[in-house]
Amino acid sequence: MSNFWSLSYQLAKAEFKLRNEGSYLGILWYLLNPLLTFLLLLLIFEDRLGKGIPKYPLYLLLGIIMFNFFQQATQESVRVIWRNSVIKSLNFPKETLVMSNVLKIIFSHAFELLLFIFVLIIYGNFNSGILIYLIILFFLFIFVYGFSLMLASLSVYFVDLNNIWTFVSRLVWLGTPIFYAVEGQTRLGILNLFNPMYYFITVSRDIIIYSRIPEMWVVLGMMIYSFLFLIAGMFIFNKLKYKFAELI
């Protein structure tokens, strides 16, 4: 087990290094994407969709960086088995490839989180709620890892999944209340009950931005979805992994 973690960690570190190789701005690039998305959406929606939402800039930015973690990790996981031909040379726990990918995105998520904390301080909204985010992040991590296991293994069999997921994840982005609120919209509200990201983002906003206790069913939903996806992901990956080396 300790080998599983050290291998995942080292793989993640190597990938992280490679991503920044020869780049002058390095990690600043990670912040540029969420920052620009944030500023643009703020500019467009603050007076419209964001009108009835208290502390809209914080509401928006937290939604963006949390979804960003999910989207980046899952989109890269679709290709993760394909990119690692070492599977054909050695017999090692292939789950580490998926885990290292999620860990790598956690590294960059940490930088986005720093950006968010900075904005929290600017708005005078910084409080201890941010510590609870670590617990939420644990569940989000489990969920994203489970989901990535599914995508990574299925994409070896269905190559089209790569294109499909790029498209679908964009739809989910639009369907998740990131730059708008879902309250009062019956149909979208019901749809979001099936969207795990809705739970994670809602719980985080309640605690960090509004300093209130989230509703119990949302917290439970968050936990159930994370374990459900973890178990399903491990099951599917386990079933399919024996053929990876033959198919890539």
Partner 1 sequence: MERIILDNVSKKFWIGVKKNQNSLQQIISLISGREPKKNFFALKEVSFSVHEKEIVGIIGKNGSGKSTLMRIISKIYKKDSGKIFSQGKILPMIGLYLALNPRLTMKDNIFLTGLLVGMSQNEIKMKYKSIVEYAGLGNFENTKIYQFSEGMKQRLAFSIAIHTDSDIYLLDEVFEVGDEDFKKKSAETLRRKAEKGASIIFVTHDLEMIKKYCNKIIWLEKGKIKKIGGKEVVEEYKKQNG
Among 54, 89, 184, 187, binds partner 1 (CB under 8 A): 89
Q: How many residues bind partner 1 (CB under 8 A)?
A: 23
| Binder among 43, 90, 174, 216 for partner 1 (CB under 8 A) | 90
Nearest Cα residue to 198 out of 34, 66, 57:
66
- CB 23 → partner 1: shortest distance, Å? 13
- From the list 138, 148, 128, the residue with the least C-alpha distance to 77 is 148
Residue 1 contacts partner 1 per CB under 8 A:
no
Q: Are 179 and 60 in contact (CB under 8 A)?
A: yes
**Cβ of residue 56: shortest distance to partner 1, in angstroms?**
42
Q: How far is CA 19 from its chain centroid?
A: 18
* Residue 164 touching partner 1 (CB under 8 A): no
Q: Which of 6, 23, 127, 163 binds partner 1 (CB under 8 A)?
A: 6
Q: Which two tokens stand for residue 25?
A: 């701005």
99-118 burial, b if ≥16 CB within 10 A, otherwise e?
bbbbbbbbebbebbbebbee
- Residue 55 tokens, joined: 């502390």
What is the C-alpha to C-alpha distance for residues 190 and 196, in angstroms, rounded to an integer?
A: 12
Among 1, 24, 47, 91, binds partner 1 (CB under 8 A): 91
Binding of partner 1 at residue 86 (CB under 8 A)?
yes
C-alpha 61: how far from its chain's center?
Answer: 14
Contact region with partner 1 (CB under 8 A), list: 70-78, 88-96, 143-151, 222-230: 88-96
Q: Which of these ranges, 26-34, 75-83, 112-120, 239-247, lies near partner 1 under the rule CB under 8 A?
A: 239-247
CB closer to partner 1, 96 vs 202: 96
